[in-house]
Amino acid sequence: MNTDKTRITIIGMGLIGGSLGLAIKKALGDQVRLTGVDREEETLRLALEQGAADHVTSDAGSGAIQADIIFLCIPVLQMVPVIKQIVPALKPGAILTDVGSTKCQITETILSIIPPEVHYVPGHPMAGKEKNGITAADQDLFLGKWFIITPYPSVSPQAAQTLADLIKQIGAKVTVMDMETHDWCTAIISHVPHVAAAAMVNLLEYSPDFESSLKLAGGGFKDTTRIASSSPDMWADICMTNGEAINDNLEKLQRILGEVIAAIRTGNRPYIHNFFQIAKRRRDELLVCEQEII
Amino acid sequence: MNTDKTRITIIGMGLIGGSLGLAIKKALGDQVRLTGVDREEETLRLALEQGAADHVTSDAGSGAIQADIIFLCIPVLQMVPVIKQIVPALKPGAILTDVGSTKCQITETILSIIPPEVHYVPGHPMAGKEKNGITAADQDLFLGKWFIITPYPSVSPQAAQTLADLIKQIGAKVTVMDMETHDWCTAIISHVPHVAAAAMVNLLEYSPDFESSLKLAGGGFKDTTRIASSSPDMWADICMTNGEAINDNLEKLQRILGEVIAAIRTGNRPYIHNFFQIAKRRRDELLVCEQEII
């Protein structure tokens, strides 16, 4: 057994965990000893077959023994029971991180259950697909994407740096953001659009003619609702752990729609034109800004 | 002058009109004499340069003289003034059609202003892009796409057949749909998603940190809001001419969002999970159905 190797354990070998495993092995090869943990035997078999892990186990506790870095790649509300299970196995100095889409609530809970000699560094890669599971995993999923680290006052700077260095090695761009800003901005830019996309698909229930609707469904509908094909488990947990910011912005979205309804009812074309024009300008600007920032 | 040629006039050489011109010339070449009409001289220059028209003019009236088929490829509310302008030039038996996204209101108006010897056949190609203008035109835009014809009781079956034959020649699939079904289904599958996409972009106004939001904007946000970059003029007209169906469904969307808000507030995870699961199942099914129907 080569003790010089960095021992990395990924808990949850789905789309993100599997892609992380592939990306780390691609970047670091034999410099790391990568353990994949999942409840599903088939997932573990595929993880090994695809080279997303060197070793696999369905037992999180034994998978975390001696690990230097542990990634939690599971829906946010599943993290606490899993952490309770692995805490006895965590060695002093181990770095625990996660890839959850909400940070404030879960960070507070995690800090209350891990021993002080374990370093928790909250993370959130801005990468995903509407497909789930290890079969959708992709070694290049994080390439050129932002990987957000959301520190808290007592975070270990050294642990955060170690994590950031690893993330950069898989080709992602690391940035630091305070977790309140993260959760609020993510609600607007990601969580509310997911809810709205699902709501638009569910609106089809009221379609007077499903087959006609299918014919009328152009690329616009497919793109707008693409994220509605995401994992219900993951998204239910996100709604449960960032409820305040999501609800506040869903209510704002309702109000914006209400203003459009009122303008349509009164035949106020200038209002509607302005509404679309502002949106177009802002989105076009956003794409330009994004290119500049990258 | 070869009188055997079918004379086609396209009024509005933007994305749809320009693509139609390119597609018709690609399919029929010298069998048609294609006149392009637009208010913008630069658009006309490009239309000629790209081969989207054989002749161009900025005067709709003279462009429509002797035309066998006239396509109106302009925002819905601009159609009536243009038709009034070309009515004196229309020859008996001419087929007038359009590509507007709303049909009931505009058909009623158009039928009230054209002479009985001109045959109006309402059309709606399910093709588009978020880019506008002749520079975005594409000769393959309609390839394999649905082109809806929405007849009314007194429509000329022969004129509808002539139009359908032409449409098939540019590679689109023709289907017939009654216009009430069309307008209601289109509200659900296209108009409401456009409004919602624009609303989500405008929600960014409330972002506490624009640069952070940019970093957090993954592919999901870009896809969900892609159609918010569409033409404000076109979409304002659509809202003005299909207001009842759009508002009814926007109100339903508000209610669906309200139910999500209530479930998040009470921590009702099973409700939220079910909401996302139904959406995922329905969208995944829809994509399968669509493949079968095509």
pLDDT tens digit sequence for A119-141: 999 999 998 776 789 999 999 99
Q: A150 to chain B: nearest residue by CA?
A: B212
Together in a domain, B36 and B138: yes
Token match 């004499």: residue? B33
Q: A130 to chain B: nearest residue by CA?
A: B220
Task: Give the model's pLDDT for residue A1.
Answer: 45
Question: How far does B275 lie from chain A, in Å, by closest CA?
Answer: 7
Interval A265-293 mean pLDDT: 86
Together in a domain, A158 and A191: no
d(CA A63, CA A56): 8
B223 and A228 within 8 Å at the Cβ level: the answer is no
Order of strands, edge to edge, in the sheet holding B55-57? B55-57, B32-37, B6-11, B69-72, B95-98, B119-121
- Calculate the alpha carbon distances from A211 to A256, B186, B289 in Å: 31, 12, 9
Task: Give the model's pLDDT for residue A208.
Answer: 82
Nearest to B151 by CA among B93, B95, B109, B107: B107
**Taking a C-beta distance cutoff of 8 angstroms, is the pair B241, B77 a contact?**
yes
Assess if residue A172 is contained within a domain: yes
Whether the per-residue pLDDT at A71 is higher than 90: the answer is yes
Task: Give the model's pLDDT for residue A231.
Answer: 87
Which residues 109-128 in chain B show a CB within 8 A of chain A? 126-128
Task: Give the model's pLDDT for residue A3.
Answer: 58
Q: Is B136 on the interface with A (CB under 8 A)?
A: no
Angle at A198 between CA A194 and CA A202, to 5 degrees: 165
Q: How far apart are the first and last CA of chain B?
A: 41
Together in a domain, B49 and B164: yes
Q: Is A32 on the interface with B (CB under 8 A)?
A: no
* A253 neighbourhood in chain B, CB within 8 Å: 199-200, 203, 257
Encoded tokens for B67: 């035309």
Q: A237 to chain B: nearest residue by CA?
A: B269
Q: Which among A213, A258, A293 has CB closest to B214?
A: A293
Pairing of strands B6-11, B69-72: parallel
Q: A259 to chain B: nearest residue by CA?
A: B199
Helix ranges, B58-187 (H): 60-64, 79-86, 104-113, 157-169, 179-186
Q: B229 to chain A: nearest residue by CA?
A: A280
Q: Is B1 on the interface with A (CB under 8 A)?
A: no
Assess if residue A1 is contained within a domain: no
Task: Give the model's pLDDT for residue A153.
Answer: 95
Nearest to B175 by CA among B101, B99, B124: B124
- Please report, for the domain that includes residue B273, its CATH number: 1.10.3660.10
**Taking a C-beta distance cutoff of 8 angstroms, is the pair B12, B37 a contact?**
yes
Assess if residue A104 is contained within a domain: yes
Question: How far does B13 lie from chain A, in Å, by closest CA?
Answer: 21
Together in a domain, B109 and B168: yes
Q: Which among B186, B193, B214 has CB closest to A286?
A: B214
**Taking a C-beta distance cutoff of 8 angstroms, is the pair B172, B144 a contact?**
yes
Considering chain A, what percentage of its residues have pLDDT values greater than 90? 82
**Taking a C-beta distance cutoff of 8 angstroms, is the pair A10, A137 a contact?**
no
Task: Give the model's pLDDT for residue A47.
Answer: 97
* B275 neighbourhood in chain A, CB within 8 Å: 198, 202
Assess if residue B258 is contained within a domain: yes
* Residue, of B28 and A219, whose pLDDT is higher: B28
d(CA B79, CA A115): 71
Together in a domain, B173 and B201: no
Together in a domain, A238 and A119: no
Residuewise pLDDT in 10s, chain B (294 residues): 445 899 999 999 999 999 999 999 999 999 999 999 999 999 999 999 999 999 999 999 999 999 999 999 999 999 999 999 999 999 999 999 999 999 999 999 999 999 999 999 999 999 877 778 999 999 999 999 999 999 999 999 999 999 999 999 999 999 999 999 999 999 999 999 999 999 999 999 888 888 888 888 877 788 888 888 888 999 999 999 999 999 999 999 999 999 999 999 999 999 999 999 999 999 888 777 665 543
Together in a domain, B233 and B265: yes
Question: How far does B214 lie from chain A, in Å, by closest CA?
Answer: 6
A228 and B184 within 8 Å at the Cβ level: the answer is no
pLDDT band at residue A227 under the 50/70/90 scheme:
confident
User: Helix-strand-coil percent breakdown of chain A, rounded to 5?
Assistant: 60, 15, 30
When computed from its CA atoms, the radius of gyration of chain B, rounded to whole angstroms, is 21
Q: Is A289 on the interface with B (CB under 8 A)?
A: yes
Together in a domain, A97 and A242: no
Q: Is B197 on the interface with A (CB under 8 A)?
A: yes
Q: Is B267 on the interface with A (CB under 8 A)?
A: yes
Q: Is B284 on the interface with A (CB under 8 A)?
A: yes
Whether the per-residue pLDDT at A291 is higher than 70: the answer is no
Together in a domain, A105 and A165: yes
| Least confident range of A10-14, A187-191, B227-231, B255-259 | B227-231
B293 and A211 within 8 Å at the Cβ level: the answer is yes
Which residues 231-260 in chain B show a CB within 8 A of chain A? 231-233, 235-237, 239-240, 243, 246-247, 249-254, 256-258, 260
- Please report, for the domain that includes residue A129, its CATH number: 3.40.50.720
Question: Judging by beta carbons within 10 Å of its beta carbon (0-12, 13-18, 19+), is residue A49 exposed, middle or buried?
Answer: exposed
Q: Which residues pair with A146 in a beta bridge?
A: A173
Q: Which among B189, B223, B269 has CB closest to A226?
A: B223
Count of alpha carbons within 13 angstroms of residue A115, beta-carbon side: 12
Q: Is A148 on the interface with B (CB under 8 A)?
A: yes
Last residue of a domain, which of B129, B152, B177? B177
Domain count, chain B: 2
H/E run at residue B231:
none
Together in a domain, A168 and A198: no
Task: Give the model's pLDDT for residue B68.
Answer: 98
Task: Give the model's pLDDT for residue A293.
Answer: 45
Together in a domain, A17 and A126: yes
Q: Is A272 on the interface with B (CB under 8 A)?
A: yes
Nearest to B172 by CA among B143, B141, B204, B213: B143
Assess if residue B282 is contained within a domain: yes
Assess if residue B1 is contained within a domain: no
Together in a domain, B32 and B146: yes
Assess if residue A243 is contained within a domain: yes
Q: Is A282 on the interface with B (CB under 8 A)?
A: yes
H/E run at residue A143:
none
Q: Is B262 on the interface with A (CB under 8 A)?
A: no
Q: For A10-63, give the DSSP string.
A: EE--SHHHHHHHHHHHHHHGGGEEEEEE-S-HHHHHHHHHHTS-SEEES-HHHH
Last residue of a domain, which of A156, A177, A198? A177
Strand segments, DSSP code E, in B1-107 are: 6-11, 32-37, 55-57, 69-72, 95-98
- Calculate the alpha carbon distances from A271 to A265, B204, B221 in Å: 11, 18, 24
Last residue of a domain, which of B177, B198, B214? B177
Q: For A153-218, give the DSSP string.
A: TT--HHHHHHHHHHHHHTTPEEEE--HHHHHHHHIIIIIHHHHHHHHHHHHGGG-S-HHHHHHH--
Q: Is A147 helix (H, G, I), strand (E, B) or coil?
A: strand
Question: How far does A224 lie from chain B, in Å, by closest CA?
Answer: 4
Task: Supply the mean pLDDT for chain A.
Answer: 93
B193 and A225 within 8 Å at the Cβ level: the answer is yes
Assess if residue A47 is contained within a domain: yes
H/E run at residue A241:
helix A232-241
B253 and A200 within 8 Å at the Cβ level: the answer is yes
d(CA A4, CA A107): 31
Q: Is A284 on the interface with B (CB under 8 A)?
A: yes
Exposure class string for A267-290: b at 16+ Cβ within 10 A, else e: ebbebbbebbbbbbebbeebeeee
Question: How far does A30 lie from chain B, in Å, by closest CA?
Answer: 31
Structural domain span for residue B141: 6-177
Nearest to A79 by CA among A108, A58, A41: A108
Nearest to A116 by CA among A66, A166, A156: A156
Count of alpha carbons within 13 angstroms of residue B112, beta-carbon side: 9
**Taking a C-beta distance cutoff of 8 angstroms, is the pair A59, A37 a contact?**
yes
